Amino acid sequence: MGEYGNIWALITTEKHLAWSLRSNLLRSKKARRWQVGGYMGGAVCRQEGKEEKRRSQVRDESLTSTDRIRCFTFRQFGFNVLSLARRGIKDLPEELWELSELEKLNLSLNRLKVLPPQLALLSNLVVLNLWGNQLSRLPAEIGQLKRLRVLFAYRNRLSDVPEELGACTQLEVLSLNNNQLSSLPESLSKLTRLRKLNLSQNHMALLPGCIYNMKALVFLHLACNCLENLAENIQNLAELKILIVEGNSLHSLPKALCCLTRLELLNLDFNDIKDVPQELHQLSHLEKLACHPLDKGLHIVHNPLIKPVKEVLEGGGLSALFNYLRAG
């Protein structure tokens, strides 16, 4: 027992000495670091900062391209967002299509002419912003974005819209203004959740029939096209609150328009309208003649109106219209 006791005492003593030497060494290093820092005015800190920057660069160089793109993503209102706007991009990087977690993608104000079919890989997209590019078409694969709720594709060069877009049945906002569209595919009749549609500044001579089936619409912007009439089917859009058809070639208004009793803003400026339906007074939410483009009410200036209907217009919220027309 005495022999084992001496060995154990020796081991314990050696451990104690080793620990003491290590502690003294650490204290010595700290002391020297403090002393150098005191004499050199933070030079050590600056040097450590440079070292950290160098290590960071090494780490960045080891990242894949996908990881570098992912560094630009961020969370906003609970969504995974990536913005590549205003970067002069002509061709999208292949690594982009690996970010399947993206929910909002902003590619606006670039120089894109084509969107590749790989767009379908971003199956979680809720918002896709493409405005201000040079796109002449949208890929058919856009129809595979089943969660898409908002699509901005205005100010491009689109001459048609793929039928497959009708498969994006969750769409609520669709902006296609400032393009070269003359029609829309009938498949867009399936967009029964669509609430806002902007087709202004295109080449529409006839209102596409699919629009009359978009019964959830509350906002419809058709300004600056070539429309000469609106069909009686307009009454299907019973939820409409804002209808803008200024700057077309409308000669008359269908009586069915007067069934849209929720209308709060009706803009008919700059057309060729000579008369209005007698039932117009039913639009009781059009409470005034509006001047400013964003004002609620009835906009009807710059039309060759020849016959104000006093007994009708005085019966509803548009009595001011008669006074306006009589004064003119």
pLDDT band, very low/low/confident/very high, at 176 (cuts 50, 70, 90):
very high
R_g (Cα) of the chain, nearest Å = 34
Helix (H) or strand (E) run with residue 45 in it: helix 43-62
Burial of 188 (0-12, 13-18, 19+ CB in 10 A): buried
Q: What is the DSSP letter of 262?
A: T
Give residue 46's pLDDT.
52
Q: What is the DSSP letter of 204?
A: -
Rounded to whole angstroms, the Cα distance separating 285 from 239 reads 13
Percentage of the chain modeled with pLDDT above 70: 74
Q: What is the DSSP letter of 203?
A: -
Number of other CB atoms surrounding residue 292 within 10 Å:
8
Rounded to whole angstroms, the Cα distance separating 16 from 24 reads 12
Rounded to whole angstroms, the Cα distance separating 34 from 132 reads 58
Helix (H) or strand (E) run with residue 15 in it: helix 2-40
* Average pLDDT of the segment spanning 153-171: 98
pLDDT in tens, 92-118: 999 999 999 999 999 999 999 999 999
pLDDT band, very low/low/confident/very high, at 141 (cuts 50, 70, 90):
very high
* Average pLDDT of the segment spanning 24-38: 41
From edge to edge, which strands make up the β-sheet containing 297-299? 74-76, 79-83, 104-106, 127-129, 150-152, 173-175, 196-198, 219-221, 242-244, 265-267, 297-299
pTM score of the predicted model: 0.77
* pLDDT for residue 328 is more than 90: no
Asked if residues 152 and 130 have their Cβ atoms less than 8 Å apart, the reply is yes
Name the more confident of 323 and 290: 290
Asked if residues 244 and 220 have their Cβ atoms less than 8 Å apart, the reply is yes
- Alpha carbon distance, N-terminus to C-terminus of the chain: 124
* pLDDT for residue 57 is more than 80: no
Rank 3-7, 66-70, 317-321 by mean pLDDT and report only the highest.
66-70
